[in-house]
Amino acid sequence: MASALKMQRMAGLARALVPLRKRGSLAGQFDLHLVRFLHAGLPVLAAKEALVKLRKKTGYSFVNCKKALEKFDDVSEAEAWLHEQAQKEGWSKASKLQGRKTQEGLIGLLQEGSSAVMVEVNCETDFVARNVKFQHLIQQAAIGTMVHYQGTRDQLSPYAKCFLNSNELSQLRIGPDGSLLVDQLALAIGKLGENMVIKRAVWISVPEKFFIGSYVHGALPEGNPSLSNMMFGKYGALVICCPSEPCEKSDFAELGWRLGQHVVGMAPLSVGSLEDEPGDDSETKMLAQPFLLDPAISLGQYIQPTGVSVLDFVRFECGEDIELSASE
């Protein structure tokens, strides 16, 4: 009975709108569209809730989310279609923007136990570098690198350092669906509208008795909780150290931070040895350089009383012009 009454009311409304339709008025067109919408039996409130939910979950525009829901009644199907369209759009934008310079961006550092990853992702502007979506792409690259090497740890030497270049990174599979990192890059380009490059990454793993000192300079303030396991900045360093005596790695957290800070600030080219004579600011051997936090002594003189040996280091500077090839 209620359904029949509803149909009668809509039919009456449609008849009332006929003169407006004949006159071609905008109001008539709008109201006819409303009648069709009501006639379709779609609950307005539920449709709005689905639209808001899809917009919040995917981050795509209301226009595109509305288009997806018009195509698919199922929200999950609409979401999948949105991702597919965004990826296509991203590839299109990536092709158009490919020649544009990407000298901005961030270094991302991820450390888990006795392993660490440092990755560089570039974009065109610092504005995009501060966007959570861009930082999430860096996180995906870092996690993808970490997972890629997890299964090879036992096959490598006790101390392992492995680099991945841009082409190798693009083929990493990430997330529960195993999608390629290059596809996620396309999605990010489609959303943010700038050229981006996942430039390089390094993975380091050390034995239990070693520790990895880490430091990121120009770090961003803490923001999104989903990125809490990452550190972001314009410069980053990992320093591989070996204490003379077994101890808790937490005891050397501050020392590792200071060593990483020195590497970022002084940009050494090699480790050197404790026997090297202290040099001046032009010195390139790490242990012979003036210690960044106390230039009156060399770095070697600073660490000697701690009983810690520095074995190696890696330094990334965002935007530096280098050729990187994979090595293990």
**Span 296-325, average pLDDT:** 89
The predicted structure's pLDDT at residue 70: 83
The model's confidence at residue 37, banded by pLDDT at 50, 70 and 90, is very low
Q: What is the pLDDT of residues 70-86, one digit of tens each?
A: 887 788 888 887 777 77
Q: Band the pLDDT of 36: cuts 50, 70, 90.
A: very low
For residue 231, name the pLDDT band (cuts at 50, 70, 90). Answer: very high
Distance (Å, whole) CA 100 – CA 195? 7
Alpha carbon 116 to chain centroid distance? 16
Mean pLDDT of 90-111: 77
For the stretch 153-197, pLDDT in tens is: 655 567 899 999 999 999 999 888 788 898 889 888 888 888 899
- Residues of the chain above pLDDT 90, percent: 48
Task: Tell me the range of 11-15, 80-84, 94-98, 140-144 where mean pLDDT is highest.
Answer: 140-144
Identify the pLDDT of residue 267: 96
Q: What radius of gyration do the chain's Cα atoms show?
A: 28
Residue 279's pLDDT is 95
Residue 305 in 3-state DSSP? helix
Q: Where in the chain is the domain with CATH 3.30.479.20?
A: 104-317
Report if pTM > 0.75. Answer: no
Neighbours of 226 (CB within 10 A): 11
H/E element holding 111?
strand 104-112
Q: What is the mean pLDDT of residues 272-291?
A: 96
Where are any strands of DSSP class E within 113-210?
Answer: 115-123, 160-165, 173-174, 179-180, 197-205
By CB atoms closer than 10 A (0-12, 13-18, 19+), residue 225 is: exposed
pLDDT of residue 323: 60
- Poorest-pLDDT segment among 99-108, 124-133, 142-151, 265-274: 99-108
User: May I ask the CATH class of domain 104-317?
Assistant: alpha beta
Q: Which residues are CB-neighbours of 268 under 8 A, at least 6 positions away?
A: 283, 284, 285, 286, 289, 313, 315
Contact 267, 255 (CB under 8 A): no
The predicted pLDDT at position 22 comes to 41
Confidence (pLDDT) at 327? 38
* CATH 1.10.8.10, the chain: domain bounds: 2-96
pLDDT at 154: 56
CATH number of 2-96, picked from 3.40.190.10, 1.10.8.10, 3.40.50.10440, 2.60.120.560: 1.10.8.10
Extract the tokens encoding 46.
Answer: 């539920």
Provide the b/e sequence for 154-192 (b: ≥16 CB within 10 Å).
eeeeeebbbbbbbebbbebebeeeebebbbbbbbbbbbb
Secondary structure of 17-50 as H, E, C letters: CHHHHHHCCHHHHHHHHHHHHHHCCCCHHHHHHH
Q: How confident is the model at residue 74, as a pLDDT? A: 81
Could you tell me which residue, 94 or 243, shows the higher pLDDT? 243
pLDDT for 19 equals 43
Which of 25-29, 74-78, 214-218, 223-227 holds the top average pLDDT?
Answer: 214-218
What pLDDT score does 211 carry?
Answer: 93
Q: What is the percentage of the chain residues whose pLDDT exceeds 70? A: 73
pLDDT score for 290: 97
